[in-house]
C-alpha cells in the first residue's frame, strides 16, 4: 500500500547521510509519495466513494499538505507552474559538517513560502506524517 511506502520513506530521512544527492533523492521521493497518497486513495475501489471525495477535499484544505504538494510537484517536474497559495519553493540546501567529529552531516532543505516565511522540508515532512495519520485513522483507513 502507498501508505506503507510513505512511512518507509519518512523513516529513511532519519538515517545518517554523508551524500547530499542521496538525501535529496530520498526527501524528494518522500514528498512525491506523501502527496500522491491522496491519488491512491481516490483511485482505490475498496474505499467508499464518499470517503474518497472527502479525503481529496480535506487534503486540499490542510496547509502542510499544500506545502508538500508544491515541493513534490516542483521536484517532480523541475519547475512549479501551478503553485498553491503557499507557493512553496525549494530555496536552500543546508549541510552542516562538524569538524573533528566523525559522523554524518546534518541535512536541511529550506522552503520559502509566498509570504516570505521559511520552513524546512524536514519540519513539513513531520507535519505531513502527523496529518496523514490523523486523517487515515479518522476515515478508518488505518488502525
The answer to the question of residue 21 being in a domain is: yes
Q: Name residues whose C-beta falls within 8 Å of residue 89's C-beta, 6 or more positions apart in sequence.
A: 70, 74, 80, 83, 111, 112, 113
The answer to the question of residue 15 being in a domain is: yes
- Going across the sheet that includes 89-96, the strands are 89-96, 106-112, 118-120
Q: What total number of domains does the chain contain?
A: 1
Range of the domain at 76: 2-138
The answer to the question of residue 8 being in a domain is: yes
pLDDT of 98-139, one tens digit each?
Answer: 787 777 778 899 999 989 999 999 999 999 999 999 999 999
The answer to the question of residue 17 being in a domain is: yes
Statement: the pTM of the whole predicted model exceeds 0.85: yes
Q: How confident is the model at residue 77 (pLDDT cuts 50, 70, 90)?
A: low
Burial of 23 (0-12, 13-18, 19+ CB in 10 A): buried
The answer to the question of residue 54 being in a domain is: yes
Q: How many residues does the chain have?
A: 143
Amino acid at each position: 500500500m502507498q501508505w506503507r511506502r510513505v512511512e518507509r520513506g519518512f523513516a529513511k530521512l532519519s538515517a545518517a547521510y554523508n551524500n547530499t544527492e542521496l538525501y535529496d533523492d530520498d526527501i524528494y521521493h518522500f514528498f512525491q509519495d506523501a502527496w500522491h497518497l491522496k491519488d491512491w486513495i481516490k483511485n482505490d475501489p475498496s474505499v467508499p466513494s464518499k470517503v474518497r471525495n472527502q479525503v481529496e477535499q480535506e487534503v486540499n484544505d490542510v496547509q502542510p499538505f499544500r506545502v508538500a504538494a508544491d515541493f513534490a510537484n516542483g521536484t517532480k517536474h523541475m519547475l512549479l507552474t501551478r503553485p498553491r497559495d503557499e507557493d512553496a519553493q525549494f530555496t536552500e540546501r543546508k549541510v552542516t559538517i562538524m569538524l573533528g567529529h566523525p559522523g554524518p552531516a546534518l541535512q536541511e532543505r529550506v522552503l520559502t513560502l509566498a509570504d516570505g516565511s521559511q520552513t524546512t522540508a524536514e519540519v513539513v515532512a513531520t507535519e505531513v506524517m502527523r496529518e496523514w495519520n490523523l486523517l487515515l485513522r479518522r476515515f478508518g483507513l488505518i488502525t
